[in-house]
Amino acid sequence: MTANCPVRPLAMAVVVLLGVCASAQAADKAPSDKELIASALRAAPPGVAKDATVVVADAQGKMRTLREGKNGFTCMPDNPTTPGPDPMCMDKNALEWASAWMAHKPPPAGKIGLMYMLEGGTDASNTDPYATQPTASNHWIKTGAHVMVVGADASFYDTYPKSADPDTSAPYVMWAGTPYQHLMAPIK
């Protein structure tokens, strides 16, 4: 252990420098399409990510396709306007659900979908589907790597905790009582 010690301050300095450079770069310019694709694909297991379509929403919410896939999954990169990394990969039903949510429209009935968010970071309000920042009253929570089940019947969600301030280390319902309630299931 002792022999390794002189190396550690140096290694830490390099990490700190790299970190500073990376954040300075990020502030300078919008991420490239390559970076957006890499961010999006971190949301799913490699076997799902490799053949997934990648799309990104512009400031108006319009989707731009960055890469065509072939396995029925669609991934979106981190949304830089919200805290925490939140890229996601979703199946076809979940994409319809998420599109409805983003458009403030009712989700399609009877279409149960699966989403991966393996990068972790849902930093989100657990009660307000459209909150982008914490407030004193919007029950802002943090969840690590998780999967989500969306579009199921109320009878499914009724079997899980619906507290506004849930224990995020076990499955719970986010946005309970809204058309966009869904199961959040941690996987670590």
Using CB under 5 A as the binding rule, the residues of this chain from 85 to 144 that contact Cu ion are 117, 122
DSSP structural state of residue 187: -
| Residue 71 identity (one-letter amino acid) | N
**Nearest approach, Cβ of 147 to Cu ion (angstroms)?**
8
**Nearest approach, Cβ of 67 to Cu ion (angstroms)?**
22
Q: Rounded to an integer, what distance in angstroms lies between the CA atom of residue 15 and that of residue 20?
A: 9
Q: Among 148, 147, 74, 151, which residue's Cα sits nearest to residue 112?
A: 151
**Nearest approach, Cβ of 65 to Cu ion (angstroms)?**
22
Told to check if 39 binds Cu ion by CB under 5 A, we report no
**Which two tokens mark 34?**
């390559």
Q: Rounded to an integer, what distance in angstroms lies between the CA atom of residue 42 and that of residue 85?
A: 10
- Smaller CB separation from Cu ion, 37 or 148: 148
**Nearest approach, Cβ of 33 to Cu ion (angstroms)?**
24
Contacts with Cu ion, residue ranges (CB under 5 A): 117, 122, 148
